[in-house]
Every structure is written in structure tokens, then in C-alpha cells.
Amino acid sequence: MNGNNESVESKKLKVALIQMDVAIGEPEANFSKAETLLEQAIAHTERPDVILLPEMWNTGYALPQIHELADRGGEQTERLISAFCRKYRVNVIAGSVSDLRGGQVYNTIYAFDRKGNRVADYSKIHLFRLMEEEKYLFAGETVGAAQIDGVSSGMMICYDIRFPELARKLALGGASVLFVPAEWPHPRLHHWRTLLQARAIENQMYVVACNRMGTSGKTDFFGHSMVVDPWGEIVVEGGEEETILHASIDLAAVDRIRRTIPVFEDRRPSLY
């Protein structure tokens, strides 16, 4: 799919967003909580097709200790999530985790299919200087694309949403849904909501964004996880409490809206 001509399959995806608190520097506590919340998400009357976790849910931003705390090659994450996916036949985009590979720590999303196979990964390419990510983490070098039940999807992490070029590249590559795990703090709630809606409107795709809540040190995280449709309308939005959000997204709307306002066909990239 080139973002504008081929039809998006006429189907719906039921999504669940796990808006959770994260215990900074306590991976075992976080893995235990994530397992409990995953069980709650799958037990919902509207059984989800895909579940999304927030950013750095395994350790939080315990950056000075991150080398010791990070998941080695995503192995602990894979053990938990793969078994869960096989048991319940569900897709999980495992938020992002601090992930130690080759002696370097990355902020990495791992995506798993209904059989528990790891089908995609994406390491955050834009490191957030305000939280000193660049001092402790290494940036990824590839974009995040995945197939979720045959649906072309994109993956971005938190600060990435300030870079519209990345979302557009994913949309031009065929993405109908953009999954965004985040740890986005106060006082920038207005930025969070506006940027997510902008990415949805300009790329005419769904944005499914899961933000953590709670407090780490002096930083308060506000939650407000949300699903935004291709018109920029908010389908569902959380508050600041720990919660699990559920929504059904109509993928046929992506194709319909891209035909109605053919922005991909009307682009003039030779001029910009």
C-alpha cells in the first residue's frame, strides 16, 4: 500500500490500552503489575485484538541505573508477552522497554502476534534531551513498521510524535494505524493531545497512544491515553488514574477518508 491508492481491508480492530503506573527502578514489580493488567484487559467483554502498553514500563526512567536494570535482549519481556499471546490468541505491542543489546541500552518496542511470535521491534530514534536520554540510551536507526492481523501499522515512541516526517514516512509506507507508547509528563498535556490529533489528521490514520500515569521523582505523568480517528476526533481518552481503555477502530474509514481528501495524491515533494 502506498498510503493513498490501495484499499484498507474492511475490518475492525479492537484495541486495549493499559494506562499504568510504573515503579521506577523496580522491573520485577512492573512485570508483575503488567501481567495482572494484561489479564484484566483480555477479560473485558469486548475482547481486544491488540493490547498496547506504555513506554519504558519495565524500569521507568531509572537512567543512572539503566544498564543494570534493562532487559537483556528483551528476553524477560518476550517470556511474559509471548506466553500471554499464545494463551489468549491476542496481539500485544509491548509498549517499550529498556533493552540491553550489545552492551548498549535502547528504548525498544517489541510486538508479538497471536501465536506469541515476535513480529517487529522498534528502538526510539529521537532521544529526549530534557530527560537526558541521550546520556544513557542509544538511538535506533530504523523506522517501526509492523503487520498486526494483516493491518499495516506504524510504531513511534513518545518524543517521536514531535517529528511529523516520521509519521508521514510510515503513512506513505502503508500504515493505517500508528501505535504510540509514551511517558509524557505534566505540564505538556496540551502538546500531547494536539500532536496526536495532528498526526492522525495529516496522515489520515488512526493513532493509538498509551501514556503512563503516576509520579517518578519530581515528574508527574498525566495519562490521557487515547485513540484518535483519521478525522482527528478522539474516540476514547483516559483521565489521570490507572485504567484500561478499550475501543474499536474501523479500518475502512482510513480508505474512505483518504479518498475524500486525497492529500497523498496532491503532495508535491519535489518542491519541499
CA-nearest of 56, 62, 48, 46 to 21 is: 56
Rounded distance, CA 199 to CA 73, Å? 31
Rounded distance, CA 35 to CA 15, Å? 17
Superfamily of domain 12-261 in CATH is: Carbon-nitrogen hydrolase (3.60.110.10)
Query: What separation in angstroms does the CA of 100 have from each of 51, 73, 214, 261?
Result: 24, 6, 25, 43
* pLDDT for the residue numbered 131: 87
Check 33, 78, 158, 210 and give the catalytic one.
158
Q: Is 55 a catalytic residue?
A: yes
Check 33, 78, 85, 124 and give the catalytic one.
124
Check 55, 78, 133, 183 and give the catalytic one.
55
| Segment 34-68, tens digit of pLDDT | 999 999 999 999 999 999 999 999 999 999 999 99
* pLDDT for the residue numbered 10: 62
Please measure the distance between the N-terminal and C-terminal CA atoms of the chain and give it in whole angstroms.
23
* pLDDT for the residue numbered 7: 45
* pLDDT for the residue numbered 3: 44
Q: Is 85 a catalytic residue?
A: no
Rounded distance, CA 55 to CA 183, Å? 6
The list of the chain residues with pLDDT below 70 reads 1-10
Q: Domain spans of the chain? A: 12-261
Q: Is 133 a catalytic residue?
A: no
| Segment 2-17, tens digit of pLDDT | 444 444 446 899 999 9
pTM above 0.75, yes or no: yes
